[in-house]
Structures are given as C-alpha cells and as structure tokens.
Amino acid sequence: MRAADPSRSPVGQRRSVLIIAPADDPHALVVAKRLEALDAEAIILDSALFPSQWRLTFRTGRGEPLRFALGRDEVEVDEERLAGVWWRRPRRYVASGDVKEAHLRQFVFAESRAAFEGWLHCLGDRVINPIAAENAASHKLFQLQCAAAVGLTIPRSLATNAPDQARAFVEANGQRTIYKPFTAANWQLIPTQRLSADALGHLDAVAYAPVIFQEEIRKVADLRVNMLDGQAFAVSIRPKSKDAPLDWRVNPACDYAHHVLPEPVNAALVALMTGLGLRFAACDLALTKDGDYVFFEANTGGQWLFAEIMAGQEISWAFARALLRPS
C-alpha cells in the first residue's frame, strides 16, 4: 500500500514506514490508511516472503555510515526514506520453493532471521518495538519482576514444572487458583482458566512443561491499557453475565468503555515501559471492587483495534504519528 508524500527528508525523498505483518492483518491495514492520510508511504511486508520475494542489502565499514536497501518489484526503501518500522505480527521466514531439503530450509530460515533482525537491531528506536527490548519483554516472568519493581500490584504467582510445588501453591490458594501458558500456541487461543477439579487431577502433567499459576483476582472489570510512547489508552471490559469466562478474550458479550487511570497507576505503567525499553505494549490489568489495580502482563503484539472501535480511542492515528518519528 503506497501513497504520495509531500513531507520530505533532507534529500527531498518521500518518508516511508515499514509494517511487518501479513497483508490482511486488520491492524496493519488501518494504520497504513492513517499513514496515507498523513501523506506518508506505508509498506506492509509479510516476513514469510523473506528472503524468497524481498531483497535486503546492508552496507557498513570502517568510517562509513550505515546504508541499506530493502525492496521488492517496484517498491524500495533505504536509510534516508525510512521513518519507522512496526514489528506488528512477524511470521516465520520461508525459503524459496527451489530449496527442497529440510536441513537446508532450516538453514535458510536461520540465516534470514539473523540478517533481517540484525538489520532491525541497527535501527534502534525507529522500530516499534526495538528488537532487543521486544525479545526481553516477551518473557512473562521478567515482566512480573519489572512490574513489581515499579510499584504495580501483581498477583501471587508460581511458575514451575515441579508437581509438588504446584500442589502446594494450589493448596494455599484453594479454589482461587488460575493457570495460563507462557507462550501463545499457533493453533488456537489458550485462555487463562480457573483450576477445575478435573485439572487438579492432572497436576503431574506440569512435569512435561512449566505452567504459570496465580491467585485469582476478584475483579469488577478487566482493563486493556494500550501504552504507546508514554501515552495510555485504557478501556474497561465488563462481562454482561455473571457466569462469563474468566478470560475476556473468549467472551463476546462484554461492555467496553474509555477508562481514566489514576495518576500513580499511569505513572507506574510509563515506568514499566521505560524499564522494559518498549514503545508499545497492550497491558492487561484487573480493577477490584476496592479500587485496586492489579497488573497481569504486557503483550507487545497485543490487539487494540477493538478498543478503537468500541471505546472511540484514536489509537491508529497515534500509531501512525509515532511511526513517523523516533520516540
């Protein structure tokens, strides 16, 4: 997706923004439209098409400035035109169909990842999010440690693959225990769930893979707080029925509304983002009946378009503007 741009770099070229995402990703498409409205060029690049269809050339040397070119067909961008990159929803790099052997295809994947992401590392804060920060912040245990350090309230938590430790934690929390995975599965959404009687009988299974257990927070609302360059876009999510699923992401019957965070909570989230080195994250919190805010996690690739639609928040415009300037 391309658009004319009267905004010029010092050498008179159009400014471009690269969005790493599948071509049909709704978030990528709406931000691309906003960039067009701001007279910038939006290029959506599906990383699954690198290196088979996209070309990347990187030049550097003693006393020489970094120079690069990224192109496909009639589209090309270089260091003078590139304003920003959004690491939105990358997919696995795929070798050309001419490469048949499995071990060679794996080698192509590894080489492509090293080249493409190594280049992104060099772009620093032109990327949302900087790759080193993105990689570190993807670890939920590290997030919890950082959240507690900046003063956010977090649930009592246990991560283990030791069945006896899991049982002891469950016994201490009783029926107020939930569990969730460390990572997202690529075949389906695995929601946060209460530990049922049936699940309790399968705690030995944690020996096969670690699991995160937490105390259940009795809440009156979930909060999705989309943090972007220090600005908070908070939306409250309230189920319409009392027997709703614990995880609002699998509940279609919810009420959404703009939410104003207390200043101490807002400041703590800004401090968390600064500490993690992130420009964007979709943060999940709970609001209790006592007015306490409890932090669960920050998702660097989290969804926010629903908040724009349901709560009238102009997040896509904020994203477009952020991509046209470093943080």
Nearest to 31 by CA among 83, 73, 75: 83
Domain ranges of the chain: 16-122, 156-215, 218-323
Q: Do the domains 218-323 and 156-215 match in fold?
A: no
**Alpha carbons 82 and 78: distance in angstroms, whole number:** 6
Check if the beta carbon of residue 287 is closer than 8 Å to that of residue 261: no
Quote the radius of gyration of the chain (alpha carbons, Å): 22
Place of tokens 């295809």: 105
Neighbour order of strands in the sheet with 193-194: 157-160, 211-215, 177-180, 193-194
Task: Decide: 235 and 223 in contact? Cβ < 8 Å.
Answer: yes
In the chain (327 residues long), the average pLDDT of successive 10-residue segments reads 37 82 98 97 97 95 89 92 96 95 96 97 94 94 97 96 95 86 71 81 92 93 97 93 69 88 98 97 96 96 94 97 84
Could you tell me where the DSSP H helices lie in the chain?
26-37, 102-122, 131-137, 140-149, 163-173, 197-200, 263-276, 305-311, 315-323
Q: What is the pLDDT of residue 13?
A: 65
Maximum separation of any 2 CA atoms in the chain, in Å: 67
Burial of 96 (0-12, 13-18, 19+ CB in 10 A): exposed
Residues 6+ apart with CB under 8 A from 196: none
CATH architecture of 156-215: 2-Layer Sandwich (3.30)
Contacts of 43 (CB under 8 A, 6+ apart): 1, 2, 16, 17, 18, 19, 75, 77
Q: The tokens of 13 are what?
A: 């070229």
User: Which is the CATH superfamily of the domain at 218-323?
Assistant: ATP-grasp fold, B domain (3.30.470.20)
Closest by alpha carbon to 71, among 83, 60, 85, 56?
56
pTM reported for the whole predicted model: 0.89
**pLDDT for 245:** 67
CA pair distance 134, 59, nearest whole angstrom? 25
For the record, the structure tokens of 38 come out as 């701001």
Rounded to 5°, the CA angle 217-286-231 comes to 155
- Predicted local distance difference test score (pLDDT) of residue 188: 60
